[in-house]
Amino acid sequence: MFKQFSLNGKSILITGGTGSFGKKCVEIILQRFHPKKLIILSRDEDKQYQMAKTLDMKKNPCLRFFLGDVRDLGRLHRAFEGVDYVIHAAALKHVPTAEYNPIEAIKTNVLGAENVLNAAIDNGVQKVVALSTDKAACPINLYGASKLCSDKLFIAGNVYAGVKNTRFSIVRYGNVLGSRGSVVPHFLSLRSSGVIPITDRRMTRFWMTLEQGVNIVLSSLGLMKGGEIFIPKIPSMKIVDLARTVAPDCRQEYVGIRPGEKLHELLISEDDGPRTREFDEYFVIEPEFQWWTDNKSGRNGGRPVPDGFSYASNTNTSWISAEELCKLIPELQVPQQLAC
């Protein structure tokens, strides 16, 4: 369990707040804290309406639903007024969609990030944590490249803020079990067909739950100095083993890697190793800025990683078993007699 950081009495805004991460983040914040305001910003009015129906608005008067798009700087300026912390989760994240619609991905993932940065600084937001992805480490697709650009913007935002006290950091992780568009719900939906498509038998992925993702994001609000990339230590699993666990009675059919898809995930590249420090539950990639290296007292501690270090799903030292997978995804209702 990551170190808790209190949000009591604070105003928090989540961009992309009606997505899988946003909904889980709202749920956990309401369970653990008593915020002054918890603002859910997204562009889909129906998702906001459906989400509001599942929450007790009378019991949680701190909740605010704010219709808007990160592409709209003016709307962000209005939404960020009086906000203490921003969690930036809004993104166009589907790899094939971004490949086919690159300009749309850039407008949301890059220009939207710039808008969040500017609105946060101009409104005196104290801290911003932006969600990143494994695909931003040595990217080979447009989505990964756009998120790498977003990461660079937020890291540099700590200098761009000038005399303002707004600080920006990033959390980067891999696949989230059960999130919208993830492979587990897809495999579950195909169990009745008797066939599970596998891109490559060698493929591996990092795996974590939504709750684990929320925990590291909320913890990073307390840990951050500004400019770091936080990477949680999470287990790997082969896609063929995942499919066998979720749908053991199905035949696996190999269909080839999709455009822009990697065989293995990478969260920390070898080039980032010299700036990476290791902690018990996570890694931190430190920024390449003079103000960071000069201010030794501002560093997060930890220990340097070995020469040549990288953090990839195929060379990971932690692997998840079928039994552990079943415990992590009870909400997906994987039948125990089949999956385990």
DSSP class per residue in 203-232? -EEEEE-HHHHHHHHHHHHHH--SS-EEEE
Over residues 145-157, the pLDDT tens digits come to 999 999 999 999 9
- Measured distance CA(235)–CA(63) in Å, rounded: 34
Residue 278 backbone dihedrals phi, psi, to 5 degrees = -105, 140
% of the chain with per-residue pLDDT over 90: 75
* Domain total of the chain: 1
107 is catalytic: no
**What's the average model confidence in pLDDT over 88-95?**
94
pLDDT of residue 334: 46
Position 328 in a domain: no
Give the residue numbers spanning the domain of 36: 11-174+209-233+267-310
A 10 A CB-CB count for 296 gives 7
Position 192 in a domain: no
Position 181 in a domain: no
Q: Which of 135, 147, 233, 262 is catalytic?
A: 135
**What's the average model confidence in pLDDT over 227-245?**
94
**What's the average model confidence in pLDDT over 295-323?**
86
What lies within 8 Å, CB to CB, of 333 at 6+ separation is: none
Position 303 in a domain: yes
**What's the average model confidence in pLDDT over 67-89?**
98
pLDDT of residue 192: 85
pLDDT of 335 strictly over 80: no
% of the chain with per-residue pLDDT over 70: 92
- Measured distance CA(179)–CA(160) in Å, rounded: 33
Q: Domain containing 126 — which CATH number?
A: 3.40.50.720
Q: Of 39-53, 170-184, 245-259, 308-322, which range is least confident?
A: 170-184
- Measured distance CA(177)–CA(185) in Å, rounded: 8
Q: How far apart are the first and last CA of the chain?
A: 25
What lies within 8 Å, CB to CB, of 38 at 6+ separation is: 11, 12, 14, 26, 29, 30, 60, 62, 63, 64
Give the position of tokens 């190793």: 273
Position 130 in a domain: yes
**What's the average model confidence in pLDDT over 85-96?**
94
Position 326 in a domain: no
Give 340's pLDDT tier (boundaries 50, 70, 90).
Answer: very low
Position 42 in a domain: yes
Give 178's pLDDT tier (boundaries 50, 70, 90).
Answer: low
- Going from the C-alpha of 276 to that of each of 45, 213, 229, 309, 310, the distances in angstroms are 41, 20, 9, 9, 9
| 219 and 173 Cβ atoms separated by less than 8 Å | no
**Per-chain mean pLDDT for the chain:** 91
Over residues 39-50, the pLDDT tens digits come to 999 999 999 999
Position 123 in a domain: yes
- Measured distance CA(136)–CA(293) in Å, rounded: 24
Nearest-10 Cα torsion for 255, 234, 38, 48: 10
| 168 and 158 Cβ atoms separated by less than 8 Å | yes
Higher-pLDDT residue of 187 and 62 is 62
Give 325's pLDDT tier (boundaries 50, 70, 90).
Answer: confident
